[in-house]
Structure 1
Amino acid sequence: MSKTLISLFLVIAFALVVACVDVTPEELKAILTNVPKAKVTNYAQYMNDAMDEGDIDTCCEIAAFIAQVGHESGDLNWFVEFASGSAYEGRKDLGNTVKGDGVRYKGRGPIQITGRANYRAAGKALGVDLENNPLLAQEPVIGFKTAVWFWNTRSLNKYADCSQANFDIITKRINGGFNGKADRDAKFAKAKKVLKC
């Protein structure tokens, strides 16, 4: 067998080992123990579909994504920011230039995209008019897609290698700091264990 064929075989074998299959509802419930039982099957499907479309497909990428989304949404229990959004009023860095934009474009979805500019960009990428219909972002089928959009526009897959140092970079890029670090880290460790990363 030539060296080229051996190299190709090793690359394919490695890809098969590293790639994960879809997360089952049972695995999702084992990682995010407080996910609503009645919704876990649908949530697993929406999440898998969004991750597949967004090329979040290695075990470490999936584990990191679930851990971060799980923390941000309280184990997929809330898809709307608790605060009114008034703190974002007039924030030009978020594209909030029209009176009422802060409340209208407050955080929604499992990663809770925020601001008119993010709603516009995510909607354009997904082919959904989120700017004129911001409440769609809190619907799980769209929300998981906005979370993957956010993840990919921040190039977070390149840090999702199962190392704690790089997971901390992901946390900082999502949160702007390290709020909820202990919970994020615990979810990441559990996800790696359940998914056998």
Structure 2
Amino acid sequence: MPITQQQLLQILPNAGPRAGVFLPALNRAMLRFDITTAIRQGAFIAQVGHESGQLSRMSENLNYSADALANTWPGRYAEPSADGGYLKVNVKGRARNKPNDLALSLAGKPEQIANNVYASRLGNGSPSTGDGWKYRGRGLIQVTGKSNYIAAGVALQLDLRAEPELLEQPEWAAMSAAHFWNARGLNDLADDGAFQDIGSVINTGQRGKVANGQADRQALYEKALRVLA
């Protein structure tokens, strides 16, 4: 059953006027990929709501500080310690990983960060190809990497290899998210009530972990179930 604009705003109040823009696209995407029961729709809207900042972000923000790089991807950007861990520094009263020289050189340069962190994986080429930036996360559940763009493009009959920016448009942002959901069997997890595992698959690629922002995801899910009941 399609959701209404009033329901969407009750779940994602910070979406404001964007709710009306995205609503038709969300309903078409959910219908196409069988996200059609209250529990499936509640889980889907909660997850895309969290991932997109309540429909406000359609592309990945890679404007990281050196400190953020060292703590998000320590294996690449933190200074190793003799005991096999990472050297620590005190940042606002908290122990944080010490950035290495690469992190310091990349800090505040989103395009260079993308080309470095996503290089030679997810179907991307080396940093010099620019694939990391070209195929950075886009859409309501961020499609990331050339191979994932190509797979989504085949499913949606779009040339996302040539036009990755299409995933920033409401129609394809929603449709690509629903395709991701379907391709990874997330309707089944929703049916089983395994909401945390859904966030884990979206955030880490596998079940059994706690996704970043789990508390916000859970709060949106509980609200969505009440609204859609």
- State whether TM-score is above 0.5: yes
Paired residues, number? 172
TM-score by length of 2: 0.72
Gaps of 5+ in 2: 63-109, 205-209
Q: What aligned pairs does 1:1-197 form with structure 2 within 5 A after superposition?
A: 21-37=1-17, 39-83=18-62, 84=110, 85-92=114-121, 94-97=122-125, 99-161=129-191, 163=193, 166-176=194-204, 177-196=210-229
Contact preservation (8 Å) 2:118, 2:145: no
The range that moved more, 125-134 or 79-88, is: 79-88
Distance in 1 between residues matched to 2:174 and 2:200, nearest whole Å: 20
Query: Which segments of structure 1 move beyond 2 Å, counting only runs of 4 or more?
Result: 84-89
Gaps of 5+ in 1: 1-20
Q: Which has the higher helix share?
A: 1
CA deviations over 1:104-154 (Å, ceiling 9, x no partner): 000000111100001000001000101110111111111101001111111
Fraction of identical pairs, as percent: 42
Distance in 1 between residues matched to 2:160 and 2:16, nearest whole Å: 26
CA RMSD of aligned residues (A): 1.2
Larger radius of gyration: 2
TM-score by length of 1: 0.84
Deviation at 1:169, TM superposition (A): 0.7
The range that moved more, 81-90 or 23-32, is: 81-90
| Aligned partner letter, 1:173 | V
Classify 1:87/1:153 alpha carbon distance in 2 versus 1 (closer, same or farther; 3 Å).
Answer: farther
Contact preservation (8 Å) 1:88, 1:115: no
